[in-house]
Amino acid sequence: MSKSKPVSPNNTTYYEELSYNIAYYRKRSGMTQEELAEKIDISRSHLSAIEAPNIIRPFSLEILFNIATALGVEPYKLFKISDS
């Protein structure tokens, strides 16, 4: 099994925004982490790490697409960067 490459410091903000957006849409849909994780067939701890902005957890596009589908949003919405 190959080890994933570390995330480039240039991409840290993107991962942080992605984590905030996933958590935002999950909460907006009224789902707990446990419910979303079960729906997309990953562990709650993995989803928790994906949603934590202080933990940079690379994950597959497959998981991203599954999250978007489960939350009823287009995947591009999860990438929206805030203007603040």
Domain 10-77 has CATH 3.40.390.10: no
Please write the tens of the pLDDT for every residue from 23-70: 999 999 999 999 999 999 999 999 999 999 888 888 999 999 999 999
Say what the pLDDT of residue 4 is: 62
Say what the pLDDT of residue 10 is: 84
Domain spans in the chain, listed from the N-terminal domain onward: 10-77
Under the banding of pLDDT at 50, 70 and 90, the label for residue 8 is: confident
Decide which of 43 and 4 is more confident: 43
Say what the pLDDT of residue 1 is: 43
d(CA 33, CA 39): 10
**CB within 8 Å of 73: residues ≥ 6 apart:** 25
